[in-house]
Structure 1
C-alpha cells in the first residue's frame, strides 16, 4: 500500500506530538463496524473526526465515538452559536487537506479548534490521513495534545 500525502502529514504530526501510538494499515472499509473489526476494537473506540462549520472560513473538529452522533443543540450551546453546519466533501477536503473518511486533526492544513466528546477516553483509534490507516492511542493523551475542549456533545447513534 503506497503512502499518500495525507497519511504522511498525519503520521508526521502524530510522531511530532510525542503521543505513544500504534499505526494500523488494513485497507479500505465500508462501514464503522468493518473499521472496528479490522482494528480489533469495539465500534465505540473508533473516534470519528467530524468537520463542523461555524461561519465563513471558521471550522472546528469534533471527536465523536463511533457509536454516537453529534447532539447539535448541545454543541451549539457550548459554542454559543445559533447555527452550525457540516461542509460538503469538497470544502472539508479544502479546509483540512483530507478526504472524508480520512480526516484527522493531526496534520490538517489548518489547526482548527477541537472539541472531544466526554466519552473519548481509554484506548481509541483515530483516522490517520488515508483510507484504511489508523492510529490507536490513549484517548486522554489525544485530548491533551490536541488541546481539546471536553464536553458532552453526543447522543447514541440511532443504529448503535
Structure 2
C-alpha cells in the first residue's frame, strides 16, 4: 500500500507497507517526528500526488524534500507490486530499486518487537 499521511506541522509524507500490513501509529509518529499524524483524505491525496487513492505510484511525482518511508520487512520480498498511476495496474520492482527510486527511509512500522530504525 502507498499511503499519504499528514503531520500536525503540515508536512505530508508517503508511507509504503505491505497490502496485508498496517502501520503501528506510535512507530509512524516517531519515524515522521510528529506527535500528531493522520491519513490524508481522498481530495488531499489527489491534490498532493495527482493520483487517485489506490493508484499512487511511489516515485516520480514528489517535490524536492518530500519524505518517503518503506516498511523494513518489505526488503525481504523478492519483488513488490506498487501503484502504476492507473487503478488496477502495478509496477513490479525489486525492493532495493524501490528504495533508490523514491529515496525511501527504511523503517520498522509494523512490528512492535523490533526497533523503528533498523541498523
Which TM-score applies when normalising by structure 1?
0.62
Task: Flag the structure with more relative contact order, 1 or 2, with Cα contacts below 8 A and sequence separation at least 6.
Answer: 1
Cross-structure match for 1:20: none
List aligned pairs for 1:127-138, cutoff 5 A. 127-138=83-94
Cross-structure match for 1:115: 69
Aligned residue for 2:37, secondary structure, equals coil
Q: Deviations over 1:71-122 (max 9, x none)?
A: 1111111222110011110111001100101112223253521000001222
Cross-structure match for 1:49: 2
Aligned residue for 1:52, secondary structure, equals strand
From 55, 71, 88, the counterpart of 2:24: 71
Q: Which runs of 4+ in 1 moved over 2 A?
A: 105-112
Unaligned runs of 5+ in 1: 1-47, 156-160
Aligned residue for 1:142, secondary structure, equals helix
The structure whose Rg is larger is: 1
Q: Would you say how many aligned residue pairs link Structure 1 and Structure 2?
A: 108
Cross-structure match for 2:114: none
The change in CA–CA distance for 1:56 and 1:76 in structure 2 (over 3 A counts) is closer
**RMSD, matched Cα:** 1.6
Q: Which has the higher helix share?
A: 1
Q: Which has the higher strand share?
A: 1
Which TM-score applies when normalising by structure 2?
0.82
Tell me whether 1:153 sits opposite 2:89 in the alignment: no
Is the contact made by 1:96 and 1:110 (CA closer than 8 Å) also made in structure 2? no
Tell me whether 1:97 sits opposite 2:50 in the alignment: yes
